[in-house]
Amino acid sequence: MTQPEHAVPPAAWAEPAQRFDLAGMGRYLVRFVKKTLVIAELEARKLRHDPTELFTRAVQPALWLLVFGQVFTRTRAIPTGDLSYMDFMAPGILAQSVLFIAIFSGITVIWECDLGIVHKFLASPTPRTALVVGKALSAGVRALSQALIVFLLSILLGVKINWNPLALLGVLLAVVLGSGLFSTFSLIIACLVKTRERFMGIGQVLTMPLFFASNAIYPVEIMPGWLQVLARVNPLSYQVDLLRGLMLGGIEPGAALLDFGVLLAVFVILIAIAARLYPRVVI
């Protein structure tokens, strides 16, 4: 067995927090990134064996854009400034469809825990945070198929897309980040409720408020005051803001950074919570 750590004197090992050890932190970070990628690889391999999920994910945004979007564009009921309603809602629907799938992703953890799969991973020398981030990363990558379908439909529906490569890259990053964030939130719920039935109930209860208390399909400005407050603390609003600004163009770099910053901060906090809760699902 290779245990290079044993070269370090045992005293230093027992309480690593007591000492500022840059090399040790570097080693930990490398190991953490490696393990995170292994967990993501695991999910990618599952997807390769059965990619149908990538297609079923496309159904929901297609319906929203083709049915809801087409009808509401005709009513001109929602003030969207210079933008056509279709342009306005396309990025919102991308964010919404990513949310709707991510928010239910945690159910796999309940399934894996009813079997012994979670036990197997927790008994292995994999950092808990790597298990959580690996899952989030794979959820993020899966969501890219939704970005693809929304872009294709947007082209068909004549949405004026901003083809700046940097903005496109930003869209992908925002989709991965948003999906990772909400799937980690879902993981936390799964760890707390522990049964499929309760999980599905809570998932249903959460999705609609998150969606409607955001700027996904109407601007925040037309909401009543109390709803505006909710919309401004809702991470989905920041994701929509970012996607809208990048997909259609014209976002200020400062505003984009702020949106990214908020999403990243929420993501990190959720990861920290999930990494603490995850080992308890087997108790």
Partner 1 sequence: MSILETRALTRRFGDLTAVDSLTLSIEAGEIFGLLGPNGAGKSTTIKMLTTLLPPTSGEARIAGFDIARRAADVRRVIGYVPQMLSADGTLSGFENLLIMAKLYDLPRADRVKRVRDALAFMGLGDSADKLVRTYSGGMIRRLEIAQALLHHPPMLFLDEPTVGLDPGARRAVWELIRQLISDKGTTILLTTHLMEEADALCDRVAIMHLGKVVATGTPQQLKDAIGRDGATLDDVFIHYTGDQLLDSGGNYRDTTRARRTARRMG
Contact status, residue 132 vs residue 184, Cβ threshold 8 Å: yes
Which tokens belong to 238? Answer: 């920041």
**H/E run at residue 228:** helix 225-233
Least spacing, CB of residue 149 vs partner 1, in Å? 24
Asked if 124 interacts with partner 1 (CB under 8 A), we say yes
- The tally of CA atoms less than 13 A away on the side-chain side of residue 155 is 6
Q: Name the amino acid, one letter, at 71.
A: V
Asked if 46 interacts with partner 1 (CB under 8 A), we say yes
Least spacing, CB of residue 19 vs partner 1, in Å? 17
Residues 6+ apart with CB under 8 A from 158: 86
Among 19, 45, 52, 253, binds partner 1 (CB under 8 A): 45
Q: Which is nearer to partner 1, 58 or 122 (CB)?
A: 122
Asked if 244 interacts with partner 1 (CB under 8 A), we say no
- Give the separation between CA 247 and CA 38, rounded to whole angstroms: 32
3-state secondary structure of 131: helix
**Cα maximum dimension of the chain:** 73
Stretch that binds partner 1, among 17-25, 110-118, 171-179, 224-232 (CB under 8 A): 110-118
Contact status, residue 92 vs residue 105, Cβ threshold 8 Å: no
Stretch that binds partner 1, among 44-52, 72-80, 231-239, 241-249 (CB under 8 A): 44-52
Handedness of CA 132, 133, 137, 138 (dihedral sign): negative
Asked if 27 interacts with partner 1 (CB under 8 A), we say no
Least spacing, CB of residue 16 vs partner 1, in Å? 10
Asked if 115 interacts with partner 1 (CB under 8 A), we say yes
Contact status, residue 60 vs residue 100, Cβ threshold 8 Å: yes
Least spacing, CB of residue 127 vs partner 1, in Å? 9
Q: Which is nearer to partner 1, 35 or 57 (CB)?
A: 35
Asked if 148 interacts with partner 1 (CB under 8 A), we say no
Which tokens belong to 254? Answer: 């400062």
Asked if 224 interacts with partner 1 (CB under 8 A), we say no
Closest CA to 150 of 227, 61, 229: 61
Least spacing, CB of residue 112 vs partner 1, in Å? 9
Residue 2, CA distances (Å) to 27, 78, 104, 126, 215 in order: 15, 64, 40, 16, 53
Handedness of CA 92, 71, 145, 117 (dihedral sign): positive
Count interface residues toward partner 1 (CB under 8 A). Answer: 31
Asked if 12 interacts with partner 1 (CB under 8 A), we say no
Among 23, 50, 75, 163, binds partner 1 (CB under 8 A): 50
Among 11, 166, 205, 283, binds partner 1 (CB under 8 A): 283
Q: Which is nearer to partner 1, 114 or 160 (CB)?
A: 114
Stretch that binds partner 1, among 17-25, 34-42, 58-66, 142-150 (CB under 8 A): 34-42
Q: Which residues bind partner 1 (CB under 8 A)?
A: 1-3, 5, 13-14, 31, 34-35, 38, 41-42, 45-46, 49-50, 114-117, 119-126, 279, 282-283
